[in-house]
Amino acid sequence: MKFATKAIHVGQEPEPRTGAVTTPIYQTSTYAQDELGKHKGWEYSRTHNPTRDALEECLASLENGKYGLAFSSGLAATNTVMNLLSAGDHVVVGEDVYGGTYRIFEKVFRRYGIEYTYVDSQDVQNAYKAIEKNTKMIWLETPTNPLLRIADIGAHVKLAKEKKIISVVDNTFASPYFQRPLDLGTDIVVHSTTKYMGGHSDVVGGAIITSSTDMYETLKFHQNAVGAVPGPFDAWLVLRGLKTLSLRMQQHEKNALAIAQFLEKHPAIEKVYYPGLASHPQHDLAKKQMHGFGGMVSCVVNGGIESAKQLLHNTKLFALAESLGGVESLIGHPSTMTHASIPQNIREERGIVDGLVRLSAGIEDIDDLLNDLKNALASINTKAMAR
């Protein structure tokens, strides 16, 4: 079965009792048992719920994985992957990970004795150099947030296999429509389903997908033992979002490319980051390991924070908001929003400067989106000329 078909059908057979074509929301915490020790496969909804089962099966199939696990947020999924480790273990992390990922590593798991080293993952040699005797995992995000840098997944997997350590890719930005890390040998894929998978900015959720039975069993144990599971309605919302994932991703990408090309020519813009542009330093690598370039574009506005504010405050369709991947276009300021939890000196060293603006291209009509940006950027030019 191909991707668009799997998104609609896997785990989602018509319900046997009534024939309902849409998976019901099994809004129940518990299940009647036939007799002591004999039940129909469901006992308690932290452990199993039929709506969540459908979602987990569908998520696994979209990533070409054997097993899927759904969580109440992307960070709950991240937390559960960290539960594979023990005090004294060390993780090599691609340096420009999501701010909340950095926060849970540094502020939560470091206190439990897990160590992290951050490396520029544009060159796999940096990961080789960071490996220690106690390194147990490599954690990558690609494309990265917000600079849209690309890590070579295959090269990092090769290193992980050589060193017999676990490889993890946060695939939130690309979605499985554009990138399938398990096909490239990665052990574990993590998602914030809040973003493209849900796709409508109406649910917070997370996922883990793997084909390793051993890792799945440990992760499943922790999903139940820790309990950060999505409720049946949230699971249903993500499942509903998945049905249109392929159509949405195609439009997100078309719009993002047009926006990136427009910004690249605009005099108020100093720099554009989009892996689909030939000017992106890793455009060829992106072409090789991805099936498309996604819907996220970042740019640096000439004139720092004041000009950035003009753009952020003057768009009418792009809402100033956290998050990404919904049908509506959003605009954000990484250094004060998503990445505010990273200390300023580290942030700037990594290129997350005050003039940096991140755009999540929605699926509106592109003419309206470009006009909105044109008008908002015009206010910057006028101001500059007035000075």
Ligand X SMILES: *Cc1c(COP(=O)(O)O)cnc(C)c1O
Question: How many CA atoms, within 13 angstroms, populate the side-chain half-sphere of residue 184?
Answer: 24
Residue among 81, 129, 136, 141 nearest 350 (CA): 141
Member of 160, 169, 197, 204 binding ligand X (CB under 6 A)? 204
| 179: contact with ligand X by CB under 6 A | no
Instruction: Tell me which residue of 304, 305, 310, 298 sits closest to 380, measured CA to CA.
Output: 310
d(CA 328, CA 311): 17
CB of 275 to ligand X, least distance (A): 15
Nearer to ligand X, 169 or 376 (CB): 169
Distance CA 31, CA 22 (A): 21
| C-alpha dihedral (187, 192, 198, 199), degrees to nearest 10 | -110
Query: Shortest gap between Cβ of 97 and ligand X (angstroms)?
Result: 7
Residue among 195, 309, 350, 358 flagged as catalytic: 195
Instruction: Considering the complex, state which of residue 75 and residue 263 has its C-beta at the smaller distance from ligand X.
Output: 75
Is 46 among the residues known to form the active site?
A: yes
Establish whether 368 is a catalytic residue.
no
DSSP state of 35: B
Asked if 265 contacts 378 with a C-beta cutoff of 8 angstroms, the reply is no
Side-chain-facing half-sphere of 157: CA atoms under 13 Å: 14
CA 214, 216, 222 angle in degrees (round to 5)? 110
Least separation in angstroms between CB 76 and ligand X: 7
Catalytic one among 89, 96, 152, 170?
A: 170
Sites for ligand X among residues 60-119 (CB under 6 A):
73-75, 98, 100-101
- Interacting span for ligand X (CB under 6 A) from 120-128, 175-183, 188-196, 376-384: 188-196
Contact mark string toward ligand X, 122..151, x via CB under 6 A: -------------------x---x------
Q: Give the nearest distance from C-beta 226 to ligand X in angstroms.
A: 14
Beta carbon nearer to ligand X, 172 or 310: 172
Burial degree of 377 (CB within 10 A; 0-12, 13-18, 19+): buried
Task: Check if 170 is active-site.
Answer: yes
Q: Active-site residues: which are they?
A: 46, 98, 170, 195
Q: Which residues bind ligand X (CB under 6 A)?
A: 73-75, 98, 100-101, 141, 145, 170, 172-173, 192, 194-195, 204, 206
